[in-house]
């Protein structure tokens, strides 16, 4: 985990100190520091010849549901082995003295495991599978790799049959938003409400190129709400935000708490 100290600009600290209600809008960079590979990172090992974008589609599911389910179980295992980083924990601590609403593009549960209440998973969650037929939430077995499962013993990606819905017997699918699918209406409405009701928006580790999610910080700026970006790289939002802080979440957010005296 990065440990290089960072000094935050005074106006950034002042904006956070003055805010009573903050929306944290997080992307893949937030979880990358916990060892969760970003979706667009090249796959390795068994999955290196598969394009993640080609696996995350309805067509891929229809063509080979066992392959897609095996890939998502592997991703769940990666996330389950990861731990929240200091950035996740700093967001939780930030809520001790003000209202903090977390809206995330990530499909992991690291914000929740750090103690934050996520009001909107815009792109769904790995840990909320649902029926591919009737869309009923699924809480049964078969949604984790078996104990002792050793993926290194495989020479080809494992094909694992998905469980069946208890309501209609259709295959259970991952609870994520695939390419070409609409964002969940409820998640989108909660995110809109959070953005419109905030004094400040913190955009953390997102590229700003995935729409419609990227519209949300743009809407905040258009409404006159300050937007502060924490990102190690320049993003599509960087030219427009109120302030960009070129540091990672795991370094910058704990530094923010220190500067606030929290």
Write out the catalytic residue numbers: 123
Pair of tokens at residue 208: 């700003």
Closest CA to 216 of 87, 23, 39: 23
d(CA 92, CA 84): 11
Buried b or exposed e, range 19-53, using 16+ CB within 10 angstroms: beebbbbbbbbbbbbbebbeeeeebeebbeeeebe
User: Within the chain, what is the greatest distance between any pair of CA atoms?
Assistant: 58
Residue 83 phi, psi (nearest 5): -125, 150
Pair of tokens at residue 117: 């209440």
Radius of gyration (C-alpha) of the chain in whole angstroms: 19
Closest CA to 39 of 80, 67, 75: 75
d(CA 162, CA 173): 7
């Amino acid at each position: 985990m990065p440990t290089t100290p960072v000094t935050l600009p005074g106006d950034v600290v002042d904006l956070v100190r003055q805010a009573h209600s903050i929306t944290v809008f997080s992307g893949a960079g937030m979880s990358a520091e916990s060892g969760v590979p970003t979706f667009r990172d090249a796959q390795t090992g068994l999955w290196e010849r598969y394009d993640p974008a080609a696996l995350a589609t309805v067509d891929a599911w229809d063509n080979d549901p066992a392959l897609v389910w095996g890939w998502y179980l592997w991703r769940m295992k990666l996330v389950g082995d990861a731990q929240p980083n200091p950035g996740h924990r700093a967001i939780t601590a930030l809520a001790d003295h003000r209202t903090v609403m977390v809206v995330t593009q990530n499909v992991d549960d690291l914000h929740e495991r750090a103690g934050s209440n996520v009001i909107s998973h815009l792109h769904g969650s790995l840990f909320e599978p649902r029926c591919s037929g009737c869309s009923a939430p699924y809480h049964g077995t078969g949604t984790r790799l078996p104990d002792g499962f050793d993926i290194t013993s495989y020479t080809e990606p494992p094909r694992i049959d998905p469980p069946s819905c208890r309501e209609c017997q259709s295959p259970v699918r991952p609870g994520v938003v695939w390419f070409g699918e609409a964002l969940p209406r409820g998640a989108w409405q909660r995110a809109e409400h959070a953005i419109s009701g905030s004094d400040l928006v913190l955009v953390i580790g997102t590229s700003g190129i995935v729409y419609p999610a990227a519209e949300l910080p743009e809407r905040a700026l258009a409404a006159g709400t300050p937007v502060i970006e924490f990102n190690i790289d320049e993003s599509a939002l960087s030219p427009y935000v109120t302030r960009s802080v070129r540091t990672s979440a795991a370094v910058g957010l704990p530094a923010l708490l220190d500067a606030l005296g929290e």
